[in-house]
Structure 1
Amino acid sequence: MTADPAPAARVLVLAGPSGAGKSRLARRLHAAHGWPVVQLDDFYRNGDDPSLPMSPQAGLPDWDDARSWRLDDALGALETLIRTGTAEVPVYDIATSRATGTQRLELGGHPIVIAEGIFAADTIAGLAERGLLAEAWCIRNRPWKTFARRLVRDLAERRKPPLTLVRRGLALHRLEPGIVRAQEALGAEPMTAREAEARVPRLGHNDEQEGRRRGATT
């Protein structure tokens, strides 16, 4: 019996609350290993999309609702990148709530693709079904530290009006333990960024084991 061809790479999912350090960790891993990074927040829907879920604040989209982004398109881009070696992904401007263009990502022969974003845990089941999942980590921190990092970042990037950012940040601070539990239930293992970096060497070890397993079934 011939097994399906092994994928050229697998996806490391970096989930976690907004401001926990996912993007910072992804940049470090890219710099150290060259692994391409797919920023899943770029798959948000445009601000005028009629299908956007609305928050209790009248007239404002609920950007913390998973329905505000395009899961199927994100999964399709990840699979295309791995199966073909290249993929076109959107470039999204959070300040104006819309995609402003696209960029081409290349696999470049790397065994790992990083997928990071606040809804990254929602990709776990689909990636596992496609045989594309390496591991899934939920990056967490102390809630007040996450709040401070998120607020500094959002103010610097002028993502939304300052009062909106503060209110959203306080709400997310209250919800953070539940966010971590929910992402853990989806299959993401909670850990700090430091703990995550200590786990990186085992990713290559797992790829070697998978290659031997597939070779034995052909």
Structure 2
Amino acid sequence: MIRSIRIAATVLLLLVGLAWGAAWFRAAPGEPLGQSFARLVAGAAPPSAGGVALPGGVSLGGPFALTDHTGRAVTDADYRGSFLLVFFGFTFCPDVCPTELQTVAAAMDLLGPQAARVRPLFITVDPARDTPAKLAEYVALFHPAITGLTGTPEQVAAVARAYRVYYARATPAGASEYLMDHSAFTYLMGPDGTLRTIFRPGVPAEEIAGALRAQLGAPARS
């Protein structure tokens, strides 16, 4: 069973790597790599001026039913009408999760009053440990606008599939607690629930804020 999971994870990581390579080769002049990747996944035409507006018909994201960090049952419909910055991780994450959440928090601060139209969502891939109370404690460390989301293992698996997020439990040698291997992209979703762009790990807050400003100033999609 463990060997099968490792093989599947290796294949998935290889496919993601190939996709990023294809995105690099097929990027339009001046197009950020994350937006080229999103366009490749969506099978869409190159982004419009500003490099962030993507046409509809994308295959990432979708309906979900989860529980927020206040204990309230929520669905994707509760966030419709706002731009979303969606990141998957877990509260015991030692490195990438706090780093990316700090970047999201900095991007929100850079937006100023425009940040009121953006909802950052932190969706756990470790529902066994990440209760609403634990998430509330964790997201409060980064920014008051960030909402933590958890659910049953089945609910989390469903939303992870919708965003094509890889995650698996792993216990390092000599460790007493397990960690979660997971992909670490940040998804920018439009008010209509469609993907606008994907930010790779390590993208600076200024780039995220710039992409959001371009979207916030663009006409709403019908």
The alignment's TM-score, normalised by the length of structure 1, stands at 0.29
* More helix per residue: 1
The alignment's TM-score, normalised by the length of structure 2, stands at 0.29
| Higher CA-based Rg | 1
Higher RCO (CA-CA < 8 Å; seq separation 6+): 1
